[in-house]
Amino acid sequence: MPGILLGDVFPNFEADTTAGRIKFHEFLGNSWGILFSHPRDFTPVCTTELACAAKIEQEFKKRGVKMIALSIDSVEDHKNWSKDVMAFNGNAGSPLPFPIIADDNRELSVQLGMLDPDEKDKDGLPLTARCVFVIGPDKKMKLSILYPATTGRNFDEILRAIDSLQLTAQKKVATPVDWKPGDKVMVIPSLSDAEAASLFPNGVTTKDLPSGKKYLRYTQP
């Protein structure tokens, strides 16, 4: 099964997009990146997702994340579909603020392991799943989420996950369930108490547990 795993260097593929031909690594530069795939142009769920992504484009920009979408249709279809997407957003006439990759021959979708065998077009060919790939400035894959075509994504969760990825890339912490920026975080298990005390000047609090083990250590980053 082809596909990219966490920690793999993301392929430096070349592709045609609504912003011209790109080489992926050059497109990313030194930024973080997000690549999200769509089953097809001119489909309802995909339209709501792209519209949402366009609406919160500044949130990605603020975090230094370059956005790019992919669907298995042509550049021309993508350009026409983008007009629908922006009109759906109440912004008819404005350009979609990020490019869409054309993968009408499904080459990239196969290479990146994006095809959903359970979701087929009218010719019986598989469509792309709703993949979310977040790529770090080192070009390695930091997060991968895979939804089937029938389940639209939650972009608030994607931004929340990016906040966690960017924080945990800088500090030796992990973010607990439902964490949001500003909340306390957990000290990672591989740090000793002495190391944690010196790394986290805001202090470390430990929750008592029936096991007596001191592994639930919180700090304010």
**119 counts as binding ligand BEZ under rule CB under 6 A:** yes
> Which amino acid is present at 154?
N
Q: Comparing C-alpha atoms, which of 112, 143, 149, 122 is closest to residue 11?
A: 112
Name which of 12 and 151 has its Cβ closer to ligand BEZ.
151
Question: CA 162, 15, 6: angle at the middle one, nearest 5?
Answer: 35
Q: Point out which span in 36-44, 97-105, 135-143, 157-165 binds ligand BEZ (CB under 6 A).
A: 36-44
**191 counts as binding ligand BEZ under rule CB under 6 A:** no
Q: Comparing C-alpha atoms, which of 158, 107, 151 is closest to residue 132?
A: 158
What is the smallest separation between the CB atom of 93 and ligand BEZ, expressed in angstroms? Answer: 23
Catalytic residue among 15, 28, 46, 185: 46
Judged by CB under 6 A, how many residues of this single chain contact ligand BEZ? 10
> Which amino acid is present at 197?
A
Question: CA 126, 130, 135: angle at the middle one, nearest 5?
Answer: 120
Distance of CA 48 to the CA centre of its chain: 17
**57 counts as binding ligand BEZ under rule CB under 6 A:** no
Of these, 4, 70, 127, 187, which contacts ligand BEZ (CB under 6 A)? 127
Name which of 46 and 115 has its Cβ closer to ligand BEZ.
46
Name which of 119 and 163 has its Cβ closer to ligand BEZ.
119
Binding mask of the shown chain, residues 148 to 187, with x at each position contacting ligand BEZ by CB under 6 A: -xx-------------------------------------
- The CA-atom distances, in angstroms, between 190 and each of 143, 194, 198 are 21, 12, 14
**102 counts as binding ligand BEZ under rule CB under 6 A:** no
34 phi/psi in degrees, rounded to 5: -130, 130
Verify whether residue 46 is a known catalytic residue: yes
Task: Give long-range contacts, CB 8 A cutoff, 24+ apart: 117-120.
Answer: 118/148, 119/39, 119/148, 119/149, 119/150
**43 counts as binding ligand BEZ under rule CB under 6 A:** yes
Catalytic site residues? 46
* Binding positions for ligand BEZ, rule: CB under 6 A: 39-40, 43-46, 119, 127, 149-150
